[in-house]
């Protein structure tokens, strides 16, 4: 039988004092975060046309849109008005009550009217 920490008489006084160095803990946390990392999905032409239609309607009618955009670790959303489209940079500018931001069209996962 192979001895382990539960075997009587084996240095049980020091078994509970094991600890990890902060550097090792950081490496483990970074590794766990990398395991949870997502990749950006690719959409077909039909989905891109649907996104374009919603963007055009939102600009024409000056409506707010809810955009879900890609982030490697979580879902992110912004609600606001589309201020500008930059086709050469493939980005749109969203103005919400909190801030203004540029979002790359290739990172848009969903666009809808709230």
For the chain, give the longest Cα–Cα distance: 79
pLDDT at 19: 74
Pairing of strands 91-95, 100-104: antiparallel
| Cα dihedral: 33, 34, 36, 41 (round 10) | 140
Residue 53 domain-assigned? yes
Output the domain CATH number for residue 89: 2.30.30.520
pLDDT of residue 73: 86
Residue 107 lies in a domain: yes
Split into its structural domains, the chain has a count of: 1
Q: Contact 50/108 with Cβ under 8 angstroms?
A: no
* Residue 27 near residue 20 (C-beta atoms within 8 A): no
pLDDT of residue 14: 58
pLDDT per residue as tens, the chain (114 positions): 676 666 666 665 555 556 778 898 899 999 988 888 889 888 889 998 999 999 999 999 999 999 999 999 888 999 999 999 998 988 999 999 888 999 999 899 999 998
Domain that holds residue 75: 45-112
- Cβ atoms 64, 80 nearer than 8 A: yes
Residue 89 within any structural domain of the chain: yes
Instruction: Please check whether residue 11 lies inside any domain of the structure.
Output: no
Does residue 103 lie in a domain region? yes
Q: Does residue 13 lie within any of the structural domains?
A: no
Sheet containing 100-104: give its strands across. 100-104, 91-95, 76-86, 64-69, 108-112
Is 77 part of a structural domain of the chain? yes
Does residue 73 belong to any structural domain of this protein? yes
Write down the pLDDT at residue 104. Answer: 92
């Amino acid at each position: 039988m192979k001895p382990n920490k539960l075997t009587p008489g084996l240095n049980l006084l020091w078994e509970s004092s094991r600890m990890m160095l902060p550097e090792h803990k950081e490496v483990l946390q970074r590794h766990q975060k990398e395991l949870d990392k997502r990749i950006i999905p690719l959409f077909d032409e039909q989905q891109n046309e649907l996104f374009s239609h919603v963007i055009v309607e939102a600009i024409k009618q000056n409506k707010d849109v809810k955009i879900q955009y890609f982030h490697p670790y979580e879902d992110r959303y912004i609600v606001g008005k589309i201020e500008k489209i930059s086709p050469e940079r493939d980005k749109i500018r969203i103005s919400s009550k909190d801030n203004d931001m540029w979002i790359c069209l290739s990172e848009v996962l969903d666009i809808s009217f709230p």
